[in-house]
């Protein structure tokens, strides 16, 4: 088999090449504001960040597809660069959404908007997950084809085992064969590069799964917090009503006690008057005799 020949490709960042610069991330993670105005400012910044993330995921998808059909080693590096950019945006978006939930403060309208942002972020994670799954499958297929170059008689089971293990012993043996040296060298180089890509894909898939879990836990924690706020509000309301009831009862008892005091006062006064009159009459009768 003739030696594999790789045509030179335009350099990245030059005319005709892949000249997409790494974004400067003009959007920073929204910081905590004060009051409702702060929340809505954070929401606007978060939605802009999510738009940037969605666009970056599509750029990753296109770059990965291009790298599968290119012999330029820089194509893989460019896809990796975009993937790193997407990772940074994912982390920023995650922090922004957490900040939104922290600033709801029991406001149901704010909670609905934070939920919408979280749902949009989750959809972006799902899209990125699908992109990585497709790239992983295509990469494994390409590695399998490279294995077939040096061992055409290999069964599909053997190919699958090689793809999973990455054992390059068969390439080392082929390199010793002068008839297969050129093809084996080119295939070995690509296999090594693609196995590195598979490891990066698995890392990204793990990160995405962890973010899904964090978003799920975030909602559960927020629901618990809102439930506690609502319960506290209900408890305060109940305590106020109970206090008002007790105050009313105390007021009624105080009024009744004052009424009884006045009744006793007038009774005593009448008794005193009657006694005084009786004494006065007795004295008068004594004097008249």
As given in the structure block, the two tokens for residue 191 are 């296999």
pLDDT in the model for residue 226: 53
Q: What is the pLDDT of residues 175-194, one digit of tens each?
A: 666 556 566 666 777 778 88
Per-residue pLDDT band at 248 (split at 50, 70, 90):
confident
Position 21 scores a pLDDT of 42
Which pLDDT does position 200 carry in this prediction?
93
pLDDT digits (tens, 9 = 90+) for 277-287: 777 777 777 77
In the chain, pLDDT over 70 holds for what percent of residues? 70
CA distances to 4, 18, 111, 165, 216 from 10, in Å = 19, 8, 50, 34, 44
- SS3 annotation, 169-193: HHHHHHHCCCCCHHHHHHHHHHHHH
30 within 8 A of 41, measured Cβ to Cβ? yes
pLDDT per position as a tens digit, 108-152: 899 899 999 999 999 999 999 999 999 999 999 988 887 777 777
Residue 230 has pLDDT above 60, yes or no: no
Report whether pLDDT(255) > 70. yes
Q: Which two tokens stand for residue 249?
A: 């009862």
Q: According to the model, what pLDDT value does residue 180 have?
A: 61
Is the distance from CB of 18 to CB of 196 less than 8 angstroms? Answer: no
If phi > 0 it is left, if psi is from -120 to 50 it is alpha, else beta; for residue 106 that is left
- Structure confidence at residue 84 as a pLDDT band (50, 70, 90): very high
* Nearest-angstrom CA–CA distance, 132 and 251: 73
CA distance 162 to 141: 11
Q: Closest Cα partner for 65 from 76, 52, 77?
A: 76
Q: Which two tokens stand for residue 45?
A: 């910044």
* Nearest Cα to Cα of residue 136 among 194, 188, 82: 194
Cα 68 to Cα 61: distance, rounded to the nearest angstrom: 11
Model confidence over 61-73: pLDDT tens digits?
A: 999 999 988 878 7
């Amino acid at each position: 088999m003739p030696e594999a020949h790789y045509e030179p490709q335009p350099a990245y960042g030059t005319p005709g090449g892949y000249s997409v610069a790494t974004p400067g991330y003009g959007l920073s993670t929204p910081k905590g504001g004060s009051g409702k105005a702060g929340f809505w400012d954070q929401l606007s910044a978060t939605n802009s960040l999510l738009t940037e993330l969605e666009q970056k995921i599509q750029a990753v998808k296109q770059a990965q597809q291009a790298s599968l059909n290119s012999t330029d080693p820089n194509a893989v590096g460019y896809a990796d660069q975009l993937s790193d950019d997407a990772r940074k945006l994912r982390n920023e978006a995650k922090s922004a959404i957490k900040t939104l939930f922290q600033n709801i403060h029991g406001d149901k309208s704010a909670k609905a908007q934070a939920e919408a942002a979280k749902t949009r972020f989750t959809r972006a994670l799902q899209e990125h997950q699908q992109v990585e799954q497709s790239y992983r499958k295509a990469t494994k297929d390409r590695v399998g084809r490279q294995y077939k170059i040096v061992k055409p008689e290999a069964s599909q089971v053997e190919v699958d085992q090689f793809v999973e293990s990455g054992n390059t012993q068969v390439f080392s043996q082929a390199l010793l064969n002068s008839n297969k040296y050129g093809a084996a060298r080119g295939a070995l180089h690509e296999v090594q590069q693609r196995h590195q890509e598979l490891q990066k894909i698995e890392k990204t898939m793990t990160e995405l799964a962890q973010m899904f879990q964090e978003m799920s836990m975030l909602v559960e924690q927020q629901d618990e917090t809102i439930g506690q706020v609502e319960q506290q509000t209900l408890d305060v309301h109940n305590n106020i009503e109970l206090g008002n009831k007790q105050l009313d009862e105390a007021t009624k008892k105080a009024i009744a006690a004052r009424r009884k005091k006045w009744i006793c006062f007038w009774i005593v006064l009448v008794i005193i008057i009657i006694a005084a009159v009786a004494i006065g009459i007795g004295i008068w009768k004594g004097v008249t005799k």
